[in-house]
Structures are given as structure tokens and as C-alpha cells.
Structure 1
Amino acid sequence: MHIQKGVETAFPGIGVTEGIIEPLAIQREDPLLESLKEEIIHEIQARYTLERIKDEPLFRAYRDFFWSVGVDPTKTRPASEALVRRILAGKTLPTINTAVDAYNLASARSGIPIAAFDAGRLSGDLTMRFAGEGEEFVGIGMTKPVILNENQVILTDAEAIIAIYPYRDSDATKITIATEAIHLVACGVPKVESGKVARAYEIAVRYLNRYASVPRKNER
């Protein structure tokens, strides 16, 4: 991924770990994945409390980044924090498909937001840049586009905006049962060590290999 100089200058230390995961055989659900989900839920409940989650240094780093690009993290949570908060509030985690569920669990366990795109729907290389005035974006679940602010950081391919970094992916490139290859991106921001981002990526790859790939692998 090419990160434009202006973004690197404004946010020293911003960076990603990324790669292509294939071949995939995504299913609606998998009982073994549900077992892993319960394991991670118990782990998170033992590690955090809902009252103090905002003060955890890792989540604080993403909150600080959100404030700096004009996004209120008390209303729009960083993706990993949103998953952890959902668990701590006693709510069920969504079941989308085995690929999305797998990397969501990696995000919750690691605390690192993870973006994922259907590689077959991408065009050319990815770029991280600032949005231009008036650019529009349609994220997963949106019924109409939002107008972006100039200071928002986005990811694009050669033709379109594919994500508002690091919290909302494009509806056009979302992962479905038909997806055969995923472009996976673990998202780092200033004050988050690159090693933590790399480890989150490795966890997500391991889960995808076990629960969404063919042939299924036996590591966990």
C-alpha cells in the first residue's frame, strides 16, 4: 500500500500490515468457529471492564486518531473497541459468514481494527490518502453515500474509495460467500507499535486459514 506523504507527515507512525488470503471457501457458519467465539468472549470479559475500556492505551490511541480526523469516537467507535464493548455489554457478536466472523474475532482479541476487501473487486494497488472536499463514500450497510471531510484518511484502489480508515469498509468490496480471495489490512495509527499490528494480522490469517480456506488447515 502506498501511503501519501501528507498522511505520514500528519500522523507519524501510521501504517498497516496487509496481504492476500486465498483460496477461500467461505461458509455461512461453522460450529468450531462458534466455539472459538465463546473462548474469546470469556478472555475479553476477564481482561477488560466496560467502565475502563476507554482508558486502555491501545484503544485510546485509536480514539485520539479519530478525534484528530474529525470523528467523534464516543459516537463512532473504532472497530476493535466496538467489538470489545459489545462483548462486555453482554450482547451477541454478529454472525455474518466464516471469513468476516474470523477476522472480527482476531480484531477483538488483538484490539487492532482489521479491514478486509474482496480482492476480486479491487482495481490496481491500494493507496492511503486524505479525502478531497466533497468526495462521497458508501460503506457496508449504508443506504446512501456520506460526504467526506478533507482531513479524513481514506483507502482507495485505482478507481474508488474502499474504506474510511480505520473503521468503515466499502459496500462494493465487502466479503461475501462468493469471495474467493481477501485483501486483508491490519490498521495501525500513531502510538500503536507496528509489532502489535503485525501480530493482529497474523492472528487473522490463522483464523481465516482454519475457518474460511480450502483445504482447511489444522492449526489454531
Structure 2
Amino acid sequence: MRNIDITISDEILAACPHFHFSAILCNVKNSPHNEELWKEIDAFSADFRTKHKMEDIGKRKAIAATRQAYKNLGKDPSRYRPSAEALCRRIIKDINLYQIDTLVDLINLVSLKTGYSIGGFDADKTKGNLILGVGKADEKFEAIGRGLLNIEGLPVYRDEIGGIGTPTSDEERTKITAETTRLLMIINGYSGEEGLQEAADYSVELLEKFAGANEIKLCRS
């Protein structure tokens, strides 16, 4: 299995000095739907809805830190919401979550539970190593299901070809599909290192249980 090195740029560290990440690279078997996984998602959603109000979401530690990172980089987090925040808001509004496929649904569950915005990529579609930098004006980025996204001022992972992921959305070129057999999952801790190990452990547990993950490689910054 090809290793993928991930570097954090100086411009990210200057704006987000507490940033850390956990990355998981593994072999997987995707499926269109997993009923047992969705029972967990539905149970979590119902419980979350009874315990939280809309105004609570932005106060969750990981979400608040991601929003602050956007502000530090000059981006409006209420216009370009981090994905974890968008998912939580959807639950509070009692709008059904999209059912995509087992890998994406699983990543969404981790994001909901932890508040981390998580990048999920088909590792075989990435080219070379990754660097986390800041989006530039007019930089082309085809967001999954959203079309062209203005990523100027957003944190963005780039490979040798271009951008593949931001906390708001990932890119069409490297997205997870039914044919994905190698997954790269990056948990972004703009709130710091605390909680990342637990999130990674939970992710691995779900990946092994629902996607038959093996040859798992973990790295952290």
C-alpha cells in the first residue's frame, strides 16, 4: 500500500496554531447501504435532537474552532459552513441525512459525534503526497454535489494535481465511490490534539465493523 505523507503549510499554522490531524489509510470494501450502521445513525440523531438546540451547535469545541479558523483566514463560516456543523444543523431541523454509501455515511456519523470536519478520499485517486494550505482566488474546486466552490480563504488539502478537500466539502476528482477499495480519512482538529485519538479509534472501529477495513495505517500531526 502506497504511503501518503501529509504536510501542514506555514500559512495554516500561522492562522491556526493549534491545528492537528489524525489520518487513517486502509483497505476497505464499500457497499450501497448498511442497515445496522443506519440504526446507529438514526439512534444518534434522535438523541442529539432531544439534547441540543440550534444555538448550541456552533459552541461545540471542534466546530467552534473550525469556524474560528475560517474567520482567521478571512472566510465567513456562516456562508461556507464546515461540514460537521451543516450535518448537525440538518439533524436539529429534523431533515433526513443523505444516504450516500457505507463509507460516506460512516464518516458522517463520526463527524456528527465528534464535531470534526472529516475528509474522506479514494486514496487511489490521489496523486503523490498532500499539503494543507489555503485556497486562492479563482482556484478551481468542483465540490461534491455542489458544483464550483469558491475556496479562497478556506483550508484546502492539495495533491500534485490540485485541491481535494476542505472542511466545507471534498472534491469530485478524489471522492469515494462504490468502487473505492483504499480509503484515506483525515480528521481535522482545529481545536487541537485533544480528542483526536478517540475519534480515530472510533473511526477504525466503525471501518472494521462495517467496511471490513484491513492493513490500517494511522498517522497524526
Match of 2:163 in 1: 161
> Could you tell me which residue of structure 1 aligns to residue 100 of structure 2?
96
Compared CA separation, residues 95 and 146, structure 1 to 2 (3 A): closer
Structure 1 position 173 matched with structure 2 position 178: no
Q: Is the counterpart of residue 3 in structure 1 residue 14 in structure 2?
A: no
**Relative to structure 2, which stretch is displaced further, 81-90 or 94-103?**
81-90
The CA deviation at 1:86 is 1.0
Paired residues, number? 209
Residues 12 and 170 (structure 1), Cα distance of their counterparts in 2 relative to 1, 3 Å cut = same
How far, CA to CA, are the matches of 1:4 and 1:65 in structure 2?
A: 14
Do the aligned partners of residues 133 and 12 (structure 1) sit closer, same or farther apart at CA in structure 2, a change above 3 Å counting?
same
Higher relative contact order (CA 8 A, sep 6+): 2
Taking the aligned partners of 2:170 and 2:212, their CA distance within structure 1 comes to: 22
CA spacing shift, 1:178–1:194, aligned 2, 3 Å: same
Q: Which residue, out of 50, 53, 65, partners 2:54?
A: 50
Q: Find the partner of 1:114 among 92, 101, 118.
A: 118
TM-score (normalised: structure 2): 0.86
CA RMSD of aligned residues (A): 1.9
Unmatched 5+ stretches in structure 1 = 216-220
Alpha-carbon separation, structure 1, partners of 2:171 and 2:211:
21
**% of aligned pairs identical?**
25
8 Å Cα contact 2:30-2:101 kept in structure 1: yes
The one-letter code sitting in structure 2 at the alignment partner of 1:142 is R
**What amino acid is the match of 1:208?**
L
**3-state DSSP class of the match of 1:63?**
helix
CA offset at residue 199 of structure 1? Answer: 2.0
Q: Give the unaligned 5+ runs of structure 2.
A: 1-5, 215-221
Q: What is the SS of the residue equivalent to 1:77?
A: coil
Deviation, structure 1 residue 214 = 6.0
1:4 deviation in Å? 1.5
